[in-house]
Amino acid sequence: MASLRHGVEEPGDVQNIRLVVDTIPTLAWSARPDGSAEFHNQRWLDYTGPSAKQALDSGWEVSIHPDDLPRILETFREALKSARPYEVEGRRFRRFDGEFRWFLFRGSPLRDQSGKVAKWYGTNTDLEERKRAEDALRESEASAILQMLESSEALRRITVNCSLEAALASKSLADWPLGENRAKVESEPK
C-alpha cells in the first residue's frame, strides 16, 4: 500500500519508516552530501512552520535567528568539510509562533561503502527548559553564596564582640593600657 506524504507517493516500507521518523519525539532532518536539506520530519515542520517544500535546500535557515545563523552555518560547513558529526547549541531557533528557544543542533554523516558521505542525518532538540533550570540553579547558587558571606560576616562580628566581652570580663581596669598610664593621668593637673 502506498501513501502520499510530503507530496511524494511512498511504498509501504518507506511509509512505515516515515511513520517512525515522524513519531519520534524530536525534530529530525536529512541532507544531501553538500548539506542541502532534503527532508524534515513532521514534528520539525509543525514546530517551525514552513512547508516541507519551503524548508528544502537552505530554506530551513529562516528558522534560525539571524544573529545565530553565521555560527551555526560555520559549524555545519566545518562538519561537511571534515565529514565528521557535529553538535552546536543555538540560542534562538524559531517556533511557528515566532518565539525563539534554545536548541541543540546535531548532525552525523552516513557513508557509502567507499567511505564517501552519502547523506547527513540530524536532530534539533529543545533545550529551553534545561537552560531555564540551569539559570535558576545559577541564581540559587549565587544567592546561597551571598547568604553564606552575609552569615560569615555576621558570625565574624559576633565572634569579635564575644572576644571583646570576654577580654573585658577577664581583665581588671589596671590591666588595660589606660591602667599603665593611670598614674600619669592622675598626676596631671586638673
Domain boundaries of the chain, sorted by first residue: 3-126, 129-171
What does the pLDDT read at residue 27?
A: 95
Percent of the chain with pLDDT over 90: 46
Cell of 75: 559549524
Residue with cell 571583646: 164
CATH code of the domain occupying 3-126: 3.30.450.20
pLDDT at 190 over 50: yes
Q: What is the DSSP string of the chain?
A: --EEETTEEE-HHHHHHHHHHHHSSSEEEEE-TTS-EEEE-HHHHHHH---HHHHTBTGGGGGB-TTTHHHHHHHHHHHHHHT--EEEEEEEEE-TTS-EEEEEEEEEEEE-TTS-EEEEEEEEEE-HHHHHHHHHHHHHHHHHHHHHHHHHHHHHHHHHHHHHHHHHHHS-GGGSHHHHTHHHHHHS--
pLDDT at 132 over 90: no
Q: Span 115-133, mean pLDDT?
A: 90
More confident residue, 143 or 63: 63
pTM of the model as a whole:
0.64
| pLDDT band at residue 176 using 50, 70 and 90 as cut-offs | low
Cell of 91: 540560542
Q: Are 50 and 56 in contact (CB under 8 A)?
A: no
What does the pLDDT read at residue 4?
A: 47
Q: Are 174 and 168 in contact (CB under 8 A)?
A: no
What does the pLDDT read at residue 1?
A: 41
More confident residue, 133 or 72: 72
Integer-rounded Cα Rg, in Å, for the chain is 34
CB atoms < 10 A from the CB of 57, how many? Answer: 15
Q: Span 23-42, mean pLDDT?
A: 94
Q: Span 98-125, mean pLDDT?
A: 94
Of 45, 95, 105, 117, the C-alpha closest to 72 is 105
**Rounded CA separation 124/102 (Å):** 10
Q: What is the mean pLDDT of the chain?
A: 81
| pLDDT band at residue 106 using 50, 70 and 90 as cut-offs | very high
